[in-house]
Amino acid sequence: MTLINAHRGDPIGYRENTMEAFQSAIALGADMIELDVKPSRDGKAVILHDDTLTRLWNIPHRVRDLSYDEIRRLSDTKDGHIPLFEEVLNATSTSVMVDFTEVDTVDCIVETINRMQALERCLIVTGNIPALRDVRRQLPEATLGLTWNDAFIPSDELIAELSIAYFNPDWRLLERGFTAADSHPPYDGQEAVDFFHKQNIRVSCWTVDKEADMAFVKSLGVDAITTNDTRKLLEVLHHDR
């Protein structure tokens, strides 16, 4: 069965990365919710994709420059607020894809997961390889995903070092195909999925919002699809459920 991973919750119906968006996605039938973490000035794991609060909240401040109390007060509106990672874990029981980009975010993610005893429900993903190494060092049993933007297959050495459970490429790479790190012929999308499956590594892909594209990546046998449109993906996958 292909899993539905709700990108920042249900951003079509609600402001992304809010409790309302996550709860809506879960109610719609998402198997997993994807969220983004940034560290606040006081080291809290804040759920926001952007470096600043400008785009979503019209507040021209960087997350890292504010305490969480300040972030909560500034973003507290009738349409929701910017939550902490622990708030999402407290309010839901769904699996969570924890996405982040910077090494300095690792500590607040690890601290929250340990304190909330949430390791088993978290898939931690990033394309920042030093950050993944740090997560693996601090959480040896963590389930890790390698987010991927490059047109070549990652090396066997990197895959083994990180002990990834998921390969997590931009879906368009599966459409275009990959070159190999050595003399191996290029991989098309199906061959790439098969390459990872042979190593017992699952394949997730992002961010897929058009029906034809959803059907395409599903046909390759990917294990999870990240989407902004949970409703549409449910329709595409209906015969799997």
For the stretch 179-209, pLDDT in tens is 987 767 899 999 999 999 999 999 999 999 9
State residue 225's pLDDT score.
Answer: 98
The predicted-structure confidence for 119-162, as pLDDT tens digits, reads as follows 999 999 999 999 999 999 999 999 999 999 999 999 999 999 99
3-state secondary structure the chain: CCEEEEECCCCCCCCCCCHHHHHHHHHHCCCEEEEEEEECCCCCEEECCCCEEHHHHCEEEEHHHCCHHHHHHHHCECCECCCEHHHHHHHCCCEEEEECCCHHHHHHHHHHHHHHCCHHHEEEEECCHHHHHHHHHHCCCCEEEEEECCCECCCHHHHHHHCCCEEEEEHHHHHHCEECCCCCCCECHHHHHHHHHCCCCEEEEECCCCHHHHHHHHHCCCCEEEECCHHHHHHHCHHHC
- Flag whether the pTM goes above 0.95: yes
State residue 136's pLDDT score.
Answer: 98
The predicted-structure confidence for 7-66, as pLDDT tens digits, reads as follows 999 999 999 999 999 999 999 999 999 999 999 999 999 999 999 999 999 999 999 999
Query: Is the pLDDT score of 170 beyond 60?
Result: yes
State residue 184's pLDDT score.
Answer: 78
* 3-37+86-240 under CATH 3.20.20.190, yes or no: yes
Domain boundaries, the chain: 3-37+86-240
Distance of CA 53 to the CA centre of its chain: 20
State residue 239's pLDDT score.
Answer: 57
How sure is the predictor about 240, in pLDDT bands with cuts at 50, 70 and 90? low
Beta-bridge mates of residue 106: none
CB-CB contact of 132 with 144 (8 Å): yes
State residue 238's pLDDT score.
Answer: 86
Query: Is the pLDDT score of 241 beyond 80?
Result: no
Please give the average per-residue pLDDT across 100-107, as a whole number.
Answer: 98
